Structure 1
């Protein structure tokens, strides 16, 4: 079985046309998320929504894409995935009656021990609960989209090899509402595994 080095994926070549597709990417203002939004925009989707916490980065991304693709439909949803109330408020800005592709990309890694606004370990809250909550709000729209003729609805959850560094006991559910200060890197790998 091949490894990562054997993957020969070329976005320009391998991503088909996305005509009429509505897409949402979490964590779209930086890193992989930002690049994902840029690449997907080149394939003619109807609209791309992307979440993030940085208004300036979102504006710069939209400006950058519009320079090359003036007709690109883009909407920034200002959402802090560590806050369930931020998710509920931000997702109200989603205005389409279809969603073809959900890409759960947002995540944080090896940050100082903390609790989210809702009382969960910050990395688990952001990387797992946050993406799951966004998907929960949008799943009815995705299910409706899946009923359309010729639909091809996708849920894509980005992760990493970080789960390999998890503590041997895996996710300790009884401790999800603690900072787990002794496991800053371990909490990240567990939240990655949960995806």
Structure 2
């Protein structure tokens, strides 16, 4: 892990912090003295993660909060209950990958609903806390797989058909569009908010074998675990891009951080600018409008509120 600057005085939130990349990200921010909110769907696994980080970082300043990105009422309750005056850093890490067809509590296709709409709604509802910070930053975890998405605004919610891999990479492309459009809108409103997106590269986590994927059978689990053991990197390697985007002092808003190796699958973090989706302002704007309509969350980016300690 590269040298991460001291994070003393920063309040950070990491979604999906109970395992995988989110866990490592939360732990390393806490190790550098940030106050870290672990935003997790499962309270039991969240408590286990909290205890584990405290065993590894005894002086960690941690807090556990429950939120389900697949349920808009849960997201609203979570945001309404947040009692921090400000939020310096939000890392939108939580998500699902390659899951069988299902719908969220609000009727959205699960990969689109959780990965993109849940992230969109949560960020928008936390915006007052972010804008109360002197130098707020939002890091959204996309995927190297988004490069292969054939983005179809008319089939984001499996209106016509559902193909697992297609829906996954499309949801991750949506997260990249979201991060870039958030920066454009913050710039237009002359706000200091910095929004970045990252791709972690191939990383060993439980996202392909746990949760909704845990019931896909022994053959699927065996093959997937073997593939991850052979071709995927250890989890701390996958967290590098998130930590780089979260803590590099002079990194500009609108950055897209990916591994510098072949096909963005492994390597050290680098700033990628030659990505078509980054510059596709029309699709990003249309997706933003659709997301506001579906979630009922409208971003208030017209003025900067009073800073809070």
Scaled to the shorter chain, the TM-score interval is 0.7 to 0.9
> Are 1:155 and 2:142 an aligned pair?
no
Q: Which residue of 1 aligns with 2:170?
A: 190
Q: Could you tell me which runs of 5 or more consecutive residues in structure 1 were left unpaired when the two chains were aligned.
A: 1-9, 147-151
Q: Deviation of residue 173 (structure 1)?
A: 2.8
Instruction: Normalising by structure 1, report the TM-score.
Output: 0.83
Q: Deviation of residue 122 (structure 1)?
A: 0.8
- SS of the residue corresponding to residue 96 of structure 2 reads coil
- SS of the residue corresponding to residue 24 of structure 1 reads strand
Cα RMSD, aligned residues only = 1.7
Which aligned runs of 4 or more in structure 1 are off by greater than 4 angstroms?
none
Q: Deviation of residue 181 (structure 1)?
A: 4.7
Q: What are the residue-to-residue correspondences of 1:8-47 with 2, within 5 Å?
A: 10-11=1-2, 13=3, 15-45=4-34, 47=35
Q: Could you tell me which runs of 5 or more consecutive residues in structure 2 were left unpaired when the two chains were aligned.
A: 176-309
Q: Which residue of 2 aligns with 1:135?
A: 123
Q: Which residue of 2 aligns with 1:106?
A: 94
Q: Deviation of residue 95 (structure 1)?
A: 1.6
> Are 1:84 and 2:72 an aligned pair?
yes
Taking the aligned partners of 2:98 and 2:160, their CA distance within structure 1 comes to: 12
Q: Paired residues, what number?
A: 175
Taking the aligned partners of 1:119 and 1:69, their CA distance within structure 2 comes to: 40
